[in-house]
Amino acid sequence: MLARPLAVESVAPTNPLNETMMSRLARALGPQKGNSLASAILATMGIPCLETPQDLCDFSNHLIGYGGLAEAVGRSLKVMALLRSAIDRPIAARKDGTRTA
Amino acid sequence: MSFLHADYRKCLDASEQVSWALSSVVPPDSRLDFSKPFMPEAMFLAHGLDSLTSDEKLKLNQIFGRAYGYLFYFVEAYIVAATMEHARAELYGDEHALRALLRFTEEEVKHQQLFLKFGDLFERDFGSAVGLTDSPQEVASYILSKSPMAVLLVTLHLEIITQAHYVDAIKGHTGLDPLFVSLFKHHWLEEAQHAKLDVLELEKLRMGAATEQIETAIKEYVEILDAFGGLLARQAALDVTSLEAAMGKAFPEETRTQIEHAQTRSYYRAFLWYGLTNSLFQEYLAERFPSLLAQCGELAARFGQGRL
């Protein structure tokens, strides 16, 4: 049986994309690990939360690099972002934290 | 029925209730009855051609039926690829959505197998070769190069026409080959859920999309219909050659042109016009894509007359 999604203490202001990301990470990795991983990646990206599909795509590419279940969640979230017209781009190109609408 | 109040759980329940096995719909000893037409007259516009005998019309009708089934096989190639992506995006998300989308994908692959089996039965007993448009991969690749919202709009259009064809023209038509009718009845049973799932997935993409993204999707939807129209016109031309092969004769150029035009109109009406004029599709567009609804009348008139 699949575990129900657990409430996660948000690391950032909420919006539907951010909530989806947090919920999926919590479900796959547990709330604590999910929360800390999300915080670490958002800090690397230099943004407080995900706001656009492009943010979600960039976040997913970071997540994929962690391997295991994090990678599985990352690949799923990346598809979600691409379906919403995000553009896949290398991690190195977005260290400045700029957003793409 | 409206698509505007669908939900994943209901789609899943309905899918489980109507599910069927390929082996029960097309048992190993299945045969098509070539003494009967496959396509209803309402969809087969060449039935009115004075230049063809009744035998020639029957053969052309069956050639049309063969291509009709193949074209569904053809478009399901891209639908499978697209739906797999939508299912993948639901991993660790909504369990009902994930299951419904996985079933959707599995059912589309099953439908492809259904149409392949139909093709095998047809080729075994028809007596001559039937030309079919090639390169389904290229068509799938072209469609999938467009925005996901445009792809879903086209998918919804196609899912809706399968229902409209069966309910409006094929269901209860006792003069048609019963196996052909049965294939499309079973196809329709599962496609009814697919259309609702398309709407649910479209809503996810539409919400939060910028106005320009929605307008791009609408423009690309029309581009895909135009490209599909080109493919259908090529199929119509192949049908003329297939009919000549089946009858063992060459038609005069004027008759060839008449047959090709009638077939083009039949394909355009079946695959393009039927969707654009469908009341459920229009109701959905009015609510969610009003600027596309405004173009439907002009597009339907163009395709209804058999021209791009």
Is the Cα torsion angle B150, B154, B160, B164 positive or negative in sign? positive
Average pLDDT of the segment spanning A8-25: 77
A44 shares contact with chain B (CB less than 8 Å): no
Query: How many DSSP H helices and E strands does chain B contain?
Result: 12, 0
Q: How far apart are CA A91 and CA B163, in angstroms?
A: 45
Nearest to A76 among B88, B204, B208 (CB): B88
Chain B residue numbers with beta carbons less than 8 Å from the beta carbon of A80 are 89
Number of domains in chain A: 1
What is the predicted pLDDT for the residue at A4?
47
Residue A4 falls inside a structural domain:
no
Nearest to A83 among B89, B93, B95 (CB): B89
Report the pLDDT averaged over residues B78-102. 96
- What does the pLDDT read at residue B137? 79
Q: Given a cut of 60, is residue B34 above it in pLDDT?
A: yes
Q: Report the pLDDT averaged over residues B234-248.
A: 97
CA distance B253 to B249: 12
Using a CB-CB distance cutoff of 8 angstroms, which residues of chain B are in contact with residue A28? 92
Residue B134's pLDDT is what?
83
Min Cα distance B233 → chain A (Å) is: 31
**A6 occurs within a structural domain:** no
Four-CA torsion B32, B34, B36, B37, nearest 10 degrees: 90
User: Is residue A3's pLDDT more than 50?
Assistant: no
In a domain, A24, yes or no: yes
**Is the Cβ pair B91, A73 closer than 8 Å?**
yes
- How many CA atoms are closer than 13 Å to the CA of B233, on its beta-carbon side? 13
Contacts of A85 in chain B (CB under 8 A): 147-148, 209, 213
Over residues B281-288, mean pLDDT: 95
Residue A3 domain flag: no
Look up tokens 């209901």; give the residue.
Answer: B10
Q: Which two tokens stand for residue B82?
A: 């697209």
CATH topology of domain B50-304: Ribonucleotide Reductase, subunit A (1.10.620)
Does residue A7 lie within any of the structural domains? no
The whole-number average pLDDT for the span B253-282 is 96
Q: What is the mean pLDDT of chain A?
A: 84
Q: What is the pLDDT at residue A99?
A: 47
- Across the interface, whether the CB atoms of B91 and A82 are under 8 A apart is answered no
Residues of A (15-34) whose Cβ lies below 8 Å from B? 16-17, 20, 23-24, 27-28
pLDDT digits (tens, 9 = 90+) for A39-86: 999 999 999 999 999 999 999 999 999 999 999 999 999 999 999 989
The reported pLDDT for the residue numbered B4 is: 76
* Nearest residue to B308 via CA among B236, B241, B218: B236
Residue A13 is predicted with a pLDDT of 54
In percent, the amount of chain B with pLDDT more than 90 equals 91
In this predicted structure, what is the pLDDT of residue B260?
97
Q: Tell me: the pLDDT tens digits for B144-189?
A: 999 999 999 999 999 999 999 999 999 988 999 999 999 999 999 9
Domain that holds residue A53: 16-89
**A6 has a pLDDT exceeding 60:** no
Angle between helices A68-83 and A53-64 (to 10 degrees): 160
Q: Do A76 and B91 touch (CB under 8 A)?
A: yes
Picking from B88, B92, B152, B200 by the largest number of A CB atoms within 10 A of its own CB, the best residue to mutate is B92
- How much is the pLDDT for B304? 83
pLDDT for B1 beyond 80: no
Identify the band that residue A92 occupies on the pLDDT scale cut at 50, 70 and 90: low
Rg of the Cα atoms in chain A: 12
Chain A from 51 to 80: CB within 8 A of any B CB: 53, 72-73, 75-77, 79-80
Q: What is the pLDDT of residue A7?
A: 45
**In chain B, % of residues over pLDDT 70:** 99
B134/A13: higher pLDDT: B134
Q: Determine the average pLDDT of the residues in B61-71.
A: 97
Considering CB atoms only, which of A16, A27, A83 is closest to B85? A83
Task: Enumerate residues 6+ apart whose C-beta is below 8 A from B189.
Answer: B18, B20
Percent of chain A with pLDDT over 70: 76
pLDDT over 90 (residue B232): yes
Residue A98 covered by a domain: no
To which residue do tokens 């990301």 refer?
Answer: A21
- Taking only the tens place, the pLDDT of each residue in B38-65 is 999 999 999 999 999 999 999 999 999 9
State ipTM. Answer: 0.82
The DSSP secondary structure of B129-198, one letter per residue, reads: -------HHHHHHHHHTS-HHHHHHHHHHHHHHHHHIIIIIITT-TTS-HHHHHHHHHHHHHHHHHHHHH
Closest partner CB to B92 (pick from A16, A73, A82): A73
Residue B132 token pair:
């079919």
Distance (Å, whole) CA B82 – CA B144: 7
Contact between chains at B90 and A76 (C-beta distance less than 8 A) = yes
pLDDT number for residue B6: 86
Tell me if residue B125 falls in helix, strand or coil: helix
Share the mean pLDDT of chain B.
94
Burial B159-182 (b: 16+ CB within 10 A, else e): bbbbbbbbeebbeebeebbebbbe
Alpha-carbon gap, residue B280 to B306, rounded angstroms: 23
- Domain segments of chain B as ranges: 50-304
pLDDT at B97: 97
Nearest to B213 among A23, A75, A85 (CB): A85
Is residue B200 pLDDT above 50, yes or no?
yes
pLDDT class for A101, splitting at 50, 70, 90?
very low
